[in-house]
Structure 1
Amino acid sequence: MGEPQRESGVVRVVVVTRHSPRLPVGLLQFVSHAHYRTDHCGGVDVRTAAAVGGSYTGVFPSGLLTTLAPAPHQFPFLRLYRRDPHLPWKVSVLLRRGHHALATQSRALAEVELERHLMARGVRRVAVREGRVRGALYLPAGDGPFPGVIDLFGSVGGLMEFRSAMMASRGIASLALAYFAYDDLPKTTDVLELDYFEEAVEALLGRPEVVPDRCGVVAASKAVDVACCMATWLPKVKAVVLYRRLPIAIDSVITHCGRTLVEGFKLNLSIMTADKKRMYVSPAEVPNAGRPCGSPKVYPHREG
């Protein structure tokens, strides 16, 4: 038997961008690619076959979707997300002969378009407006009770729901919680009241579909500040998942019951520079760039 024929799979996801002063309104492409060697029948089963190059290597069944990144011609620091989780993503899968770089244009041997849905059938969305709490609760199909999670995003502000829809599709009751720049909530994160997030925990656990005595928090970016405080000072928060941020407070004062818990430090952005791609240069490359002005302060929280 001769050398196995080599093929390369490429996935492209096309979504509609939100308006941005840096970007035109239109279609954005997120892409990934992987290099595989076909088996003796000329096929590739990504559940068992190991990628030998591309966006990832090794056995990674969901690798083509997990490693999606902005296409080479796009602004390189875009995020892939949906404002409306009811809308599926269009996924184009292309098969090409040979192992090529991502930007290489060559004829596709085969191509198919798929839809990737963020919400499973039976998932319910419930608008939440209880007291000061603003958000959207996503409940799995069935009666429950289900484990509950508070879902927080960062400095993008507003209400982001797609992650909650995905968690509810996997059996978790998830409250997508807005905490600034939405409806009648504060416009900035200068002062964050932990009382608000405590109200959100009680609103979530008060639902008959949710396990009533404990919940978790999933937080990204700026919301990591808040999630750490929730895990520290709110007894019903039993677990947190944090990503894309150091667990320290920046540019915010966090309070609870009128007391200051944390005073975040201020970044000295005035001495930071940007490269041609509009990203801040690493502090290691510019002396003192991004060095905090002072240190964060954490105050003990005492009852009475």
Structure 2
Amino acid sequence: MTTLSVTPEDGLLDEPRRIFVKGLQPSQKVELSTRTLRGNGQYWVSAATYIADASGQVDLERDAPVSGSYAGVSASGLLWSQRPEVSGAADVFPDDVLQPLVTQISLEGSETSVTLIQRLASEGVTRREVRENGLVGTLFTPPGVGPHPAVIVLNGSGGGINEPRAALYASRGYAALALGYFKAPGLSPYISNTPLEYFVAGLAWVRREVRPAHDFVALSGQSRGGELVLLLGSMFPEAVSAVIGYVPSALVHGGQAAADPAVGRDGPAWLYQGQPLVHLWNDNKTASWAARDAGLRNAESISTALQDHDAVRRVAIEVEKIRGPVLLLSAGDDAAWPSALFSRMAYSRLKEAGHPWPVQHLSFEHAGHTILLPNIPSTNSVDGTPAANAEANEQSWLAVKAFLDDAVNAPAAEGA
């Protein structure tokens, strides 16, 4: 009798799964297919064909497909290689992050199937919308009395409120505030002229409302949010316990593609005390948007601005002022901007300054700009390869969990 199993069937998004078929004939070809309901009511699918071993078994932890949606050995290949049934669908996470992603895995040519359940929020995680003190976000709190260490999650040029990452942080023991700063209810639709005092208020709110364990509040930011967390850590070091920069910049940038048209892409993104922060495009002698305007990668236009070394020096973020550990996660095939170069710049500056806290830089050479979470589709990026993007999704999250655990336990041990 042929049986198909997944272990565990139900668990958190970041939990590895084992997909296994037994009871086949030796060397029998078998096709497995998947179908998952994701955001905006859209289904994502994949399929691959495998050859059973001499015992009539197929084990995705061991066996590569001979054809199908992905190549090579990958236990989660059927998940990260999914593509939308309807072209153009992009939301890989559920509309409600408290609800699980449900994947049907089927053995083609039979009625054999199994259901795989992935949860962003573990049992007991609570969700609270925050609309106070001018702040707009969502707080996810782990189960249990606490206190819990805290993380503030900041999105990039897409704006909005990053609930999926915050929910998974909470599932791993962190009170996580997904803080919107544009393209969120009641906020500007543009990044232009965002006051840094807004984030200072967010840090104070978390300390007041969450009362985090060991007074630990980390910042986790993606892309423009990665630039922002380095900037905030350098300008308000007493308020930031640790910094996680996903595909960040070591330099201050202007509004770029997320700018208010009335301000322009060469206008400021950030304000402090009512004044715009000097950014890379200010008085830059070599900067040109010609490549971007011709439909080429944004990173190509950014590279022109880097040729003006005086401009680069003026807007370099003073990361050495951060008073805590720093984790930098970059992509070698980044179409948005050269996050690997930027991360090396920040890393070198920290090391040259003798930064007394741990500093790590993980560069994913063949991955693209969108480094998200493990075991989700990685096929809808304009850069990187799906396999490399999936690897970056998995390995970056493992690194983040270990980094935060070490960062939290270091002050805890000192205070013991």
Amino acid at match of 2:84: A
Q: Distance in 2 between matches of 1:290 and 1:298?
A: 15
Greater share of strand? 1
SS of corresponding position for 1:206: helix
Give TM-score scaled by structure 1 length: 0.72
Shift of 1:213: 2.5
Shift of 1:208: 4.4
Q: What percentage of residue pairs aligned between the two structures are identical?
A: 26
Shift of 1:172: 1.6
Amino acid at match of 1:92: Q
Equivalenced residue count is: 270
2:228: which partner in 1?
Answer: 226
SS of corresponding position for 1:207: helix
Q: Distance in 2 between matches of 1:164 and 1:300?
A: 26
Shift of 1:78: 2.4
1:29: which partner in 2?
Answer: 43
Q: Deviation digits for residues 175-197 of structure 1, max 9, x if unmatched?
A: 01011133333332111222211
Distance change in 2, residues 1:55/1:209 (3 Å): farther
Q: Distance in 2 between matches of 1:178 and 1:289?
A: 25
Q: Distance in 2 between matches of 1:267 and 1:111?
A: 54
Does the CA-based 8 Å contact 2:45-2:84 persist in structure 1?
yes
Give TM-score scaled by structure 2 length: 0.55
Q: Deviation digits for residues 140-190 of structure 1, max 9, x if unmatched?
A: 100122221111122333333122112211212110101113333333211
Distance change in 2, residues 1:44/1:241 (3 Å): farther
2:309 is the alignment partner of 1:272: no
Worse-matched range after superposition: 139-148 or 200-209 = 200-209
Amino acid at match of 1:239: A
Distance change in 2, residues 1:241/1:131 (3 Å): same
Does the CA-based 8 Å contact 2:26-2:53 persist in structure 1?
no
Q: Unmatched 5+ residue regions in structure 2?
A: 1-24, 256-267, 282-286, 322-416
2:81 is the alignment partner of 1:86: no
1:61: which partner in 2?
Answer: 75
Q: Aligned to 1:179, which of 160, 178, 181?
A: 181
SS of corresponding position for 1:86: coil
1:2-151 matches, within 5 Å, as: 4-17=27-40, 27-46=41-60, 48-52=61-65, 54-58=69-73, 60-65=74-79, 67-71=80-84, 74-75=87-88, 78-96=90-108, 107=109, 110-151=112-153
Q: Distance in 2 between matches of 1:172 and 1:289?
A: 35
Distance change in 2, residues 1:232/1:33 (3 Å): farther
2:215 is the alignment partner of 1:213: yes
Shift of 1:199: 1.5
2:312 is the alignment partner of 1:298: no
Worse-matched range after superposition: 175-184 or 245-254 = 245-254
Q: Distance in 1 between matches of 2:250 and 2:302?
A: 20
Instruction: Let me know the Cα RMSD of the aligned residues.
Output: 3.6
Distance change in 2, residues 1:270/1:141 (3 Å): same
Amino acid at match of 2:62: A
Q: Deviation digits for residues 45-96 of structure 1, max 9, x if unmatched?
A: 44x42434642523x433433x144337613x82413342123323121234
1:282-297 matches, within 5 Å, as: 282=297, 291-292=304-305, 297=314
Distance change in 2, residues 1:282/1:179 (3 Å): closer
Distance change in 2, residues 1:260/1:250 (3 Å): closer
Shift of 1:262: 4.1
Distance change in 2, residues 1:50/1:289 (3 Å): same
Does the CA-based 8 Å contact 1:30-1:68 persist in structure 2?
no
Distance change in 2, residues 1:110/1:139 (3 Å): same
Amino acid at match of 2:194: L
Shift of 1:263: 1.8
Greater share of helix? 2
Q: Aligned to 2:198, which of 196, 199, 205?
A: 196
Distance change in 2, residues 1:8/1:298 (3 Å): same
Q: Distance in 1 between matches of 2:118 and 2:157?
A: 27
1:254: which partner in 2?
Answer: 270
Worse-matched range after superposition: 290-299 or 120-129 = 290-299
Distance change in 2, residues 1:70/1:142 (3 Å): same
Does the CA-based 8 Å contact 2:38-2:91 persist in structure 1?
no
Does the CA-based 8 Å contact 1:10-1:93 persist in structure 2?
yes
Q: Distance in 2 between matches of 1:175 and 1:226?
A: 16
Q: Distance in 2 between matches of 1:261 and 1:299?
A: 11
